[in-house]
A and B are shown apart, each in its own frame.
Chain A
Amino acid sequence: MLLIHCPCCGVDRPEIEFRHGGEAHIARPADPSALDDHQWADFLYMRSNPKGVTAERWRHVHGCGRFFNALRDTVSDRFLAVYRTGEPRPDLDAASTGMEGGK
């Protein structure tokens, strides 16, 4: 079973305690009424879906209940880093040299 490190609880927990929350670092437009339909649709629906490292939101829904962000490799399904909501995306070199959460 895939273990995910929760930065809030500070422990590794099984994947079933967590829920995926979509791509991270997508900011809601400050003034939605100023956007046209295409721009609004881009914000709502368009995601990068990369093959490789992606930043995602996860929620420890059957634990502390908190959202946090994680870097995950979509090819290997390995979690490279976890970090709290509001923190900047860690750079990949730091992540790949064994930050917490690498499973």
Chain B
Amino acid sequence: MSETALYRPALADNQANAEVLARPGIKVTRAGPLARFVFRGDAAAAGKAGGAFGAALPVAPLAANAVGARAALWQGPDEWLLLARPEADGEQAVDMLARQLAGEVAAALGDTPHSLVDVSERNVALLVEGAGAADLLNAHVFLDLSPEAFPVGTATRTLFTKAEITLWRLGDEAFAIEVWRSFAPYVEGLLIEG
């Protein structure tokens, strides 16, 4: 299972079925809603933002820092994807958490130049788990997903056939795909197809 407390499967009453694919050795699940931000700024801004957000923004390329129900994913030298899950379930709790975090980060940054964009509604997450996870992903992701080349904790933007995704390795046999909402049916369809 995933080694972060961030992702939870989507609730049954929220989406008709959280399960996308279940075969021996492979499971693909839709994750529940999260508060998401794209943060851009220099190292000084990132340092302040990490303190307010609750998870330090990693400066090493392709790194992800998960702390409890918060995570900061390196996307570029001045760009991070921030993920946070509220305590309570439901879209309303996500919305409240997003507003609260946006306020706290903005307050901590003050006059430091930065940009913080709420993209909670833009992305959805898919969890790909099981012994066959890397093989299934490699049908559409053109990266070396062996543990040496893509160790646990690596997060990167890449392509899933034609759709841009952020791929994050949560465990030896667990990956999260952060994908734009409108691309999700395409990605899910290709995962089901194998």
Contacts and interface: CB of A to CB of B under 8 A. Distances in A.
Interface stretch (A10-18, A35-43, A46-54): A10-18
Given A8-B61, A9-B61, A9-B62, A63 B156 contact: yes
Query: For this complex, into which size category does the number of interface residues on chain B fall?
Result: 10 to 19
B189 interface: no
Interface of B: 61-62, 75-77, 79, 142-143, 156-159, 164
Interface residues of A, number: 14
Contacts of A27: none
Contacts of B77: 8, 64, 66
Contacts of B62: 9-11
If over half of B's interface residues share one DSSP class (helix, strand or loop), that class is named, otherwise mixed; here it is strand
Contacts of A11: 61-62
A62 B158 contact: yes
Given A63-B156, A64-B75, 12 more contacts: A1-B142, A8-B61, A8-B76, A11-B62, A13-B143, A16-B142, A62-B159, A63-B76, A63-B157, A64-B76, A65-B157, A66-B77
Interface in A52-89: 62-66
Nearest to A63: B157
Contacts of A10: 61-62
Contacts of A66: 76-77
A101 to B, nearest CB: 15
A9 B156 contact: yes
Q: Could you say which of A9, A14, A64, A65 has the most chain B C-beta atoms within 10 Å of its C-beta?
A: A64
Contact of B158 (A8, A63, A65): A63
